[in-house]
């Protein structure tokens, strides 16, 4: 938050207000000049201090900054949601890997989601087999079918 506030707007609103004043207003030139001076000073002072500020704050990149990281641990620091942690920490390196590509590898995405959709279909078929054999009751069948429906909708949407 410190870095975000330090890098915020540099008086653009002040300058916009100053330039919107009537041209025949007494002291308008001084107000416009002051607005430009404030912007110039903040750009030079805050801009050149950005590197030392970030260095002084010892900001770390990676998992420690993940929003999900503190939520998947209990008070003692033990992981209580390992699958969730795995799912969300997987996304950062994936983004890094594809950031320099001009076009997203659509073929790889389609292949991935074709497998996901096949797995959903197999899971749905097994669930129905188990239900017909009497291993699952109706309420569980409906709950799991609903989860399969949501996963399938998401996979079809993301696959494109």
Q: How many domains does the chain have?
A: 3
- Residues of the chain short of pLDDT 50, as ranges, are 62-65
As a 3-state breakdown, the chain gives helix, strand, coil percent values, each rounded to 5, of 75, 0, 25
Shared domain for 112 and 160, answered yes or no, is yes
Shared domain for 50 and 74, answered yes or no, is no
* Full residue range of the structural domain in which residue 122 is found: 104-160
Shared domain for 110 and 159, answered yes or no, is yes
Cβ-based neighbours of 156, under 8 Å, separated by 6 or more:
113, 117
Res 153: pLDDT? 92
Shared domain for 114 and 155, answered yes or no, is yes
Shared domain for 16 and 68, answered yes or no, is no
* Residues 72 and 79: beta-carbon distance below 8 Å: yes
The model's pLDDT over 102-128, given as tens digits with 9 standing for 90+, comes to 776 778 778 888 998 999 999 999 999
Among 57, 74, 90, residue at a domain's last position: 57
How many Cβ atoms sit within 10 Å of the Cβ of residue 29?
12
Res 10: pLDDT? 64
């Amino acid at each position: 938050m410190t870095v975000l506030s330090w890098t915020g707007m540099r008086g653009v609103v002040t300058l916009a207000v100053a330039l919107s004043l009537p041209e025949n207003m007494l002291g308008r030139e001084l107000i416009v000049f002051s607005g430009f001076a404030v912007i110039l000073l903040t750009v030079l002072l805050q801009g050149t201090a950005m590197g030392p500020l970030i260095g002084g704050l010892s900001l770390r990149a990676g998992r420690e900054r993940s929003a999900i990281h503190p939520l998947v641990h209990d008070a003692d620091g033990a992981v209580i949601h390992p699958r969730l942690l795995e799912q969300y920490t997987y996304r950062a390196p994936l983004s890094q890997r594809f950031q320099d590509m001009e076009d997203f590898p659509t073929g790889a995405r389609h292949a991935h989601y074709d497998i996901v959709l096949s797995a959903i279909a197999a899971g749905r078929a097994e669930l129905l087999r188990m239900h017909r054999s009497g291993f699952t009751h109706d309420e569980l069948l409906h709950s799991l079918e609903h989860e399969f429906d949501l996963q399938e909708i998401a996979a079809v949407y993301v696959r494109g």
